[in-house]
Amino acid sequence: MTNLLALLVALATPIKPDAACETTWAKAESPAAAETERCLKHFLAYGYGANWKAEDLTLDPTYGDDVERRLSKADLERMAGHVKATCSDPANPELPCARAIEFFNGMAARKTSVFEDENVGSYEAPLTRILKGEGVDPRMLFVGEPGMKWSAQTLRKLRNAAYARHGYVFKDADLNEFFYGPRTEPVAGLPLPQGDKKTVELTTVDNANVQLIKSLEK
């Protein structure tokens, strides 16, 4: 079995969340080196499969798992810092620690990017329509196309775009940054004027877009 095929099989194996790594370690200021080593190996399973081996690290990690929704951009950047502080050679891509740093920074960047690694494309087109209050064609979301989909994080941002266009303030700081914060890459319709509303009234089209996206999130 080739490395790529083996990796695809490994990635199909569900990863059991590790609460200690996703909460205590991720938010710690200066965790113990042993805990950092344990947690970086745990998180690499999301990018390289449950039983990843050293040779798997020659390939790029796979993004799009729910773990990136559970962790904030600040958490991910802090996690990359934890690993960098204990890694003997953080520039060596063959070392697990270097790949973990890349993986964490990649997930952090995805919080504000409109590029989707899941299908190697941009979701700017459906996002722009939602931000304009226009209906989204199901084909733009790959409805009815086997093997094609957007990641859970992307669908979440698309769904919340219907609220952001009315100025809704999210409890999630990453969503507020995505819709209202300054951008390093141009995206049509973003950033929106800073939201200041705790409740908003969606239009009929907004609701239709939200329901369509929710059907894909199930």
Q: pLDDT of 96-138, one tens digit each? A: 999 999 999 999 999 999 998 777 789 999 999 999 999 999 9
Q: Please give the average per-residue pLDDT across 31-51, as a whole number.
A: 95
Token pair for 30: 């200066």
What is the model's pLDDT at position 117? 74
For residues 209 and 198, give the distance between their C-alpha atoms in angstroms, rounded to a whole number: 20
Q: pLDDT of 176-214, one tens digit each? A: 999 999 998 889 999 999 999 999 999 999 999 999 999
Using 50, 70 and 90 to split pLDDT, how confident is the model at 2?
very low
Tokens 């810092």 locate to 81
Q: Measure the N-to-C terminal CA separation of the chain; round to a whole number of Å.
A: 33
Q: Classify residue 187 by its DSSP letter.
A: B
Question: Can you give the pTM of this predicted structure?
Answer: 0.85
Using 50, 70 and 90 to split pLDDT, how confident is the model at 10?
very low
Distances from the Cα of 26 to the Cαs of 38, 152, 158, 199, in angstroms? 12, 21, 27, 32
Token pair for 150: 């957007």
Q: pLDDT of 152-179, one tens digit each? A: 899 999 999 999 999 999 999 999 999 9
Other CB atoms within a 10 A radius of the CB of residue 118 amount to 18
Q: Please give the average per-residue pLDDT across 62-73, as a whole number.
A: 89
Which positions ≥6 away from 71 have C-beta within 8 Å? 22, 26, 79, 107
> In the chain, what percentage of residues exceed pLDDT 90?
71
Token pair for 17: 């969340």
